[in-house]
Amino acid sequence: MDSQLLPVLLLLLLGASGPWGQGQGPEGSSEELLEEPPEEQVPREDGILVLSRRTLGLALREHPALLVEFYAPWCGHCKALAPEYRKAAVLLADTSVPAVLAKVDGPAEPELTEEFGVTEYPTLKFFRDGKRTDPEEYTGDKDVATFLALAQDALDMTFGLTDRPQLFQKFDLTNDTVVLLKKFDEGRADFPPLPLQTSPKIFAARILNHLLLFVNQTLAPHRELLAGFREAAPPFRGQVLFVLVDVSADNDHVLQYFGLKAEAAPTLRLVNIETTEKYALADGEPVTAASVAAFCHAVLGGHIQPYLLSQEVPPDWDQRPVKTLVGKNFEQVAFDETKNVFVKFYAPWCAHCREMAPAWEALAEKYQDHEDIVIAELDATANELEGLPVRSFPTLKYFPAGPGRKVRREGWGEPGPPSQAPDPGRVLGGARDPQPTCPLPGHGEQAPVNPDLP
């Protein structure tokens, strides 16, 4: 996690405290209010409330703004989040703001994980006004842009961006600064400069369609496009979130996600973060207020088809025991009616995938003389497949021989280390469905399957 998200996490909670202010009581049934005896205290650890089924109701009554992390002790992503979460809790404890951080040990509190639909770790849920029902879930990556989007959507706060010298002078600013204007206490809080890293899968806002304008802000012709981009935005409020991506900054991850290079700017891309479908403005189309509006209308109206990323087919894709698949040769191989095809969908950065690689190679070597069995892999960060979303790494999908486009056995093998690859023989024989281990950016680690569940 980027250490610079800490000020914005605080910004989120500081802003959250304002609307509740002066003694608003929690809403809920009398049964909830009587769930815990009033004398019981909620334990704290490093400034973080440690919640259980017995103490959640009490914490909601006492704290109108409560950010709760559902974690698992074995989860690597939870361990990575922990230091920043602790820092934020300590800093909040030194303020008079009625906003606190809390955590729930998911495996130890199955009733709470079931009540709030927790299926992966870490899961962050934001409880407002003491309400136990319908907390707002934060599902994006843990960086600045995500928290800003979350705050804007969840708290109905207004965010703006300006480069006007007169406003810098009015607020006595000399550097890039995040300024929080409040209707309580001192009325203003300044936060240090923050790199607003923009990513297409990070926004936790309920607006599902995100329109990204890629420009190089060091070039005057590109900067001139911003006025038209802003002009086109108001009619799409609530439907499309307009996002600016500066390709001259550290936004390589965003470019990679859309299959772009910096030289492609200026250009537009629209992504639906629920379906992950991506849309592109026609090549050569100028970026103007009119073209931006027309593009949005066309996508929302279903008049433009989404595009799918694909690498080029390597010349030696079928020369190794593990066959290399990309978007352009996937259907030809996976849906070959004469072959049983087992595919590992991986991400180059995924530690679980790297740990699994030797076992997957050994598996392929074991079956390389079986003409009806193919062991393959596909880099799911650079290749997209229609109707086959991949949300965790490694994800394994088995495509059995025979007519029809069949897919079976999705996920990752029985609970255990990724270094133990499942055997196609067991899959063909009806082994239990696999289980994913490493999430996409923006997703948490999934909880291990309980073998006792149906």
Active site residues: 75, 78, 350, 353
Buried b (16+ CB within 10 A) or exposed e, 89-100: bebbeeeebbbb
Nearest to 223 by CA among 252, 246, 240, 200: 246
Cis peptide before 122 (omega within 30 of 0): yes
Nearest to 333 by CA among 303, 313, 361: 313
Cis peptide before 454 (omega within 30 of 0): no
Cα separation, 140 vs 443, whole angstroms: 7
Cα separation, 327 vs 321, whole angstroms: 19
User: In sequence order, what E strands does 9-116 have?
Assistant: 44-45, 48-50, 65-71, 99-105
Number of H helices, E strands in the chain: 14, 21
Q: Tell me how far apart the 2 most distant CA atoms of the chain are, in Å.
A: 75
Cα separation, 140 vs 130, whole angstroms: 24
Cα separation, 13 vs 2, whole angstroms: 18
Cα separation, 246 vs 12, whole angstroms: 24
Return the residue matching tokens 């409330």.
49
Cα separation, 284 vs 68, whole angstroms: 47
Residues 6+ away with beta carbon under 8 Å from 294: none
Question: 343 exposed, middle or buried (CB, 10 Å; 0-12, 13-18, 19+)?
Answer: buried
Cα separation, 342 vs 367, whole angstroms: 11
Structure token pair of residue 454:
């149906």
Cα separation, 22 vs 28, whole angstroms: 19
